[in-house]
Amino acid sequence: MANVLSIIVQRLLLGLLTLLVVSIVIFLAVNALPGDFAEAILGQGATPESIATIRRDLGLDQPMVVRYFDWLSKMLRGDLGVSFAQLNFRTNLGGAGDVGVAEQIAPRLANTMFLAATTAIIAVPIAVTLGVLAALYRNTIFDRAANVATLSSISSPEFFMAYLMTLFLAFIFPIFPSLSNISADLTFFERLEKTMLPAITLTLVVTAHMMRMTRAAIINLLASPYIEMARLKGMSPMRVIVKHALPNALAPIINVIALNLAYLITGVVVVEVVFVYPGIGNLFVDAVKNRDIPIVQACCLIFAAAYILLNLTADILSILSNPRLRHPK
Amino acid sequence: MSTLLKIRDIRLEGRSDEQWNPIINGVDLTLQKGEVLGLIGESGAGKSTLGLAAMGFTRDGVRISSGTVEFDGIDLVKASAAVKRGLLGKRIAYVAQSAAASFNPAHRIIDQQVEGPVQHGTMKRPEAEETGMELYRKLRLPDPDNIGFRYPHQVSGGQLQRAMTAMAMSCRPDLIIFDEPTTALDVTTQIEVLASIREIVDEYDTAAIYITHDLAVVAQMADQIKVLLKGDEVETADTRTMLAAPTQEYTKSLWAVRSFERPAKPSVIGGAVPVVSVRNVDASYGTVPVLHDVSFDIHEGRTVAVVGESGSGKSTTARCITGLLPPKAGEIAFDGQVLPADYRKRDKGQLRQAQMIYQMADTALNPRMSIGNIIARPVQFYTGLTGKELRARVDSLLDQIELEPSQYFNRLPSELSGGQKQRIGIARALAAEPKFIICDEVTSALDQLVAEGILRLLAKLQDELKLSYMFITHDLATVRAISDEVVVMKDGRVVEQGEKQAMFTPPHHAYTDLLLSSVPEMDPDWLTNLLQERGVDNIGDAAVDKM
């Protein structure tokens, strides 16, 4: 076990290092965006003096290196800064209290996590089960049908799938509401009901990838001597696949699941927009439009952290799924 | 006795190149209850295919085209999958060649042991575990009460092979198919496994089909022997008759293989400078030491056989000589001149002096390059020849390895047989015009007749080109056939070295003695006698602790 622990610690440190590198990339990328907040907010009536004043107030006149370390050190202390937009309101309207980036992002992130979790709970079992069944009944009508269905759903644009779902599940058969305008005062089940349409749409988007990997990883192993052995012991085809092939195919399956979960957290802007779901993706897009740099940076960093954390988890789970590492000689 | 298995005119076909080609052409086989049949033949003879067909099983891309396989009155060819599943594991069991590959790495040994009886409904789990431990005890596995709770990778190859036999025995089957169960093992380990298998098959009165290419092994195990050649039966007879008086030419040729032996060359004159000198070499992989103070010399035109079991450091020594693994201490000298430890620091002249031929010719040749290019590459690299001269040199190399240049120049490795591929490996080594060649188990993957051809070729080349060979092998018959001197290694140390004559004449070092006496002989009583001599209780574990 000491072996596994040291590998995990190593991966964690590597993850942190990656996050640090990503923070530099994010900072540089955001700085490379054309235009700046001062120009955007002052619009037509901007004079060079007023622009300079706002820039000075916001610290935008400092050299890039200074701004980066300022941002990083605040970030490390858990201070995500104050949204430019909120700052603007306060100065103009006489200080309605500081609304920090953290306070703005937190509820949105929670919504996104809720959607991602709901989708994952639906999609992962479906994908893995379909993959196992497709491997079991490989090259039959069932296998082909499963492949065609999942591939067509992944090949259609997300917004198209979203409208299709709305059409069928909200209008023709009004089962779920077409708008996901959730708020904090909803009960869990109301919230779940309003989340269903985007969750189903996303399920259709992510299932194919996971299912095909499950199928491929299992079929890859079917030529192994130990699978032949299981068959020669008179074990049923289902048992051969589930007991003998699946445990050895876990590593690639876990990895592709992690990749899809990361996508659910970071890449669902389109679906959020269609269903007016108040997730972090919507917030992010608005912030980019307004040149609201603190929010853009914080969102990017959260996305990066989600990617790194999920892949790290997948790595560790793959390691744990290997008995050679779990039980050294 | 009553008949357990009756195979009549069985024909099997394999699919390749979009068509069905025959693998077994109408073989009959009859097995009585409790009888052991040895099935022998070279690779490609269809032994495994026939063995699996006896279970009513075919691998993907193989089919039974006609014939019957009658097991205790049930025709396995016509039986439904469900009926066959009911028999497999319960009444007919299988022991595979590589236990390491055939145990599922994800489950503990005991879980796989009890799976058969529990799933077939013959026993409940606790009883099945109890039976498994009983079998482990009978098969003389160390710590039988706990060994099952380990994962396959935590147990040595020989022990795993016995655990697999225990697994096959778990439901007390009437018939077991043993498919080359000891081929992957060292000789000393092989004896333990052979003895265990024979004993338990006797005790439980199990019938068995024992598939192997090793005649001496089958002589110990089988009541009768069936010889196969390219899917046809050559002859069948009881073991003693078959060994004493084979009737068919092919069988006789198989028996004769072990006769090749080249006389050792006269001893080296004192003071001669060796071509290769390994001096006090220590080496390690990471922090794990693998070689300890290894020293030996190889003189011009001579063959030094390095023998030992797997893990004894034979191939590591070769890696040190070629500079692939720089030693931690000690040095390697060529013609008396010390070489840089790392191959990257050696110049072309130094590199070309030591060439290698590998065990698996299959993987040692680039499958996408033609034979001509494979050989031309090192010729060009070391000698700088181009155009017509290059082609002429490649042709002459192909001539040297006795392959017709015009026929083979443009072929791909996949179009060649195993023996031919190994010849290409030899030609590639010769291309550098070396003085010294390391042959790493070059004949272990080949059938005996083919292997002998390779040994003869190597001997001929040595005489013509005054080559020196370092011949790594675990097969003592090969050592006897080709070497001038022998170096015996164990656990990374040289335990004995000397002229071949001296090594094969007693008294030996205790370990050399163990190695020599463990090589199976054609005498069907050999194993019985040996076990008596060694005392049945310490057939192996006491002599060689493989943990």
Domains and CATH numbers, chain A: 2-93 (no CATH), 111-326 (1.10.3720.10)
Rg over CA atoms, chain A = 24
Taking the C-alpha atoms of residue A220 and residue B72, their distance in angstroms, rounded to an integer, is: 36
Task: Single out the residue of A138, A143, A117 nearest to residue A240, CA to CA.
Answer: A138
Average pLDDT over residues B418-443: 91
Q: How does residue A40 score in pLDDT terms, banded at 50, 70 and 90?
A: low
Cα–Cα distance list, A168 to A161, A177, A200, B264, B501 (Å): 11, 11, 12, 88, 89
In the prediction, which pLDDT does B99 show?
85
Higher pLDDT, B175 or A97: B175
What would the mean pLDDT of A171-195 be, rounded to a whole number? 85
Binned at pLDDT 50, 70 and 90, residue B542 comes out as very low
Q: How does strand B354-357 pair with strand B436-440? A: parallel
Identify the pLDDT of residue B181: 87
Determine the residue among B58, B60, B95, B104 to mutate to test chain A binding: the one whose Cβ has the most chain A Cβ atoms within 10 Å.
B104
Do B103 and A229 count as a contact with CB atoms less than 8 A apart?
A: yes
Contacts B107 to A, Cβ<8 Å: 243, 247
pLDDT of B539 reads: 47
Residue B448 confidence (pLDDT) above 50: yes
**DSSP secondary structure code for residue A168 in this structure:** I
Residue-wise pLDDT for B101-127, tens only, equals: 899 999 999 999 999 999 999 999 999
The proportion of chain A whose per-residue pLDDT surpasses 70, expressed as a percent, equals 91
For the stretch A5-41, what's the b/e string if a residue is b when 16 or more beta carbons lie within 10 angstroms of its beta carbon?
Answer: eeeeeebeeebeebeeebbeebbeebeeeeebbbeeb
pLDDT tens sequence across A2-35: 677 888 888 889 989 999 999 999 888 887 777 6
Write down the pLDDT at residue A158. 86
Contact B102 A233 (CB under 8 A): no
pLDDT in tens, B464-486: 999 999 999 888 888 888 889 99
pLDDT computed for residue A99 by the predictor? 63
CB B179 within 8 A of CB B48: yes
Instruction: Tell me how close the Cα of B108 comes to any Cα of chain A, in angstroms.
Output: 9
Average pLDDT over residues B196-220: 88
Q: Quick one: pLDDT at residue B6?
A: 92
The predicted complex's ipTM stands at 0.79
The answer to whether residue A196 scores a pLDDT higher than 70 is yes
Average pLDDT over residues B223-229: 91
Which among B52, B85, B104 has the least Cβ separation from residue A236? Answer: B85
Domains of chain B: 33-60+80-256 (3.40.50.300), 276-505 (3.40.50.300)
Distance from the Cα of B309 to chain A's closest Cα (Å) equals 20
Q: Please tell me the distance from the alpha carbon of residue B182 to that of residue B217, in angstroms, as a whole number.
A: 9
Res A93 pLDDT > 50? no
User: Where is average pLDDT lowest: A271-285, B239-253, B258-272?
Assistant: B258-272
Mutate to test the interface with B, among A136, A220, A224, A229 (most CBs of B within 10 A): A229
Please report residues of B whose CB lies closer than 8 A to that of A229: 94, 96, 102-104
Q: What pairs with residue B487 in β-bridges?
A: B306, B497
pLDDT for res B39: 92
> Mind telling me how many Å the CA of B483 is from chain A's nearest CA?
37
DSSP per-residue letters across A89-133: HHHHHT-----BHHHHHHHHHHHHHHHHHHHHHHHHHHHHHHHHH
Q: What is the pLDDT of residues B171-194, one digit of tens each?
A: 999 999 999 888 777 888 888 888
> What average pLDDT score do residues B32-45 get?
87
Residue B506: both structure tokens together: 């007693």
Cα separation, B454 vs B449, in Å, equals 9
CB-CB under 8 Å, A225 with B151: no
User: CA torsion angle for A36, A38, A43, A45 (degrees, to 10)?
Assistant: -140
DSSP secondary structure string for all residues of B36-97: EEEEE--TTSSHHHHHHHTTT---TTEEEEEEEEEETTEETTTS-HHHHHHHBTTTEEEE-S
Residue B343 contacts A, CB cutoff 8 Å: no
Q: What is the mean pLDDT of residues B415-422?
A: 86
Query: Residue B425 has what pLDDT?
Result: 93
Q: What's the CA gap between B438 and B321, in Å, rounded? A: 9
The answer to whether A318 touches A254, Cβ cutoff 8 Å, is yes
- Is the CB of B90 inside 8 Å of chain A's CB atoms? yes
pLDDT at A86: 61
pLDDT of residue A54: 76
Contact (CB<8Å) B85/A235: yes
Over chain A, what is the mean pLDDT? 85
Residue B359 has a pLDDT of 84
Is the pLDDT score of B518 beyond 90?
no
What's the confidence (pLDDT) of residue B154? 87
A325: chain B residues, CB-CB within 8 Å: none
> Quick check: A215 contacting B, CB < 8 Å?
no
Which pLDDT tens digit goes with each residue over B299-340?
999 999 999 887 788 888 999 999 999 999 999 999 888 989
Name the residue among B102, B120, B150 with its Cβ closest to that of A229.
Answer: B102
**Bridge-partner residues for A9, per DSSP?**
none
On the question of pLDDT at A89 being above 80, the answer is: no
A327, B116: Cβ pair inside 8 Å? no
Q: Give the least confident one: A169-173, B22-26, B539-543.
A: B539-543
pLDDT for A263-316, tens place per residue? 998 878 888 888 888 889 888 888 888 778 888 888 888 999 999 999 999 988
Check B59 against A228: CB less than 8 A apart.
yes
Looking at the complex, report in whole angstroms how far the Cα of residue A245 sits from the nearest Cα belonging to chain B: 9
pLDDT, tens digit, 9 for 90 and up, residues A122-181: 999 999 999 999 999 988 999 999 989 988 888 888 888 889 888 998 888 888 888 888
pLDDT at B541 (0 to 100): 44
Which pLDDT does position B424 carry in this prediction? 93
Whether residue B13 is predicted with pLDDT greater than 80 in this model: the reply is yes
Per the CB < 8 Å rule, is B86 touching A234?
A: yes
Query: How is residue B510 written in tokens?
Result: 């205790």
**Percent of chain B clearing pLDDT 90 (strictly above):** 41
Helix (H) or strand (E) holding B486: strand B485-490
Residues 106-145 of chain B whose Cβ lies under 8 A from any Cβ of chain A: 106-107, 115-116, 119-120
How far apart are alpha carbons B48 and B179 in whole angstroms?
7
Average pLDDT over residues B163-170: 92
pLDDT at A240: 94
Return the DSSP state at B232: E
- pLDDT score, position B458: 92
Res A219: pLDDT: 92
A65 vs B: CB within 8 A: no
Is the Cβ of B171 closer than 8 Å to some Cβ of chain A?
no
| Whole-angstrom distance, CA of residue B261 vs CA of residue B279 | 30
Please report the residues numbered 272 through 291 in chain A whose beta carbons come closer than 8 angstroms to any beta carbon of chain B.
Answer: none
Least confident segment among A106-110, B1-5, B132-136, B386-390:
B1-5
What mean pLDDT comes out for the span B139-147? 88
**How many angstroms separate the CA atoms of A160 and A156, rounded?**
7
Write down the pTM of the prediction: 0.79
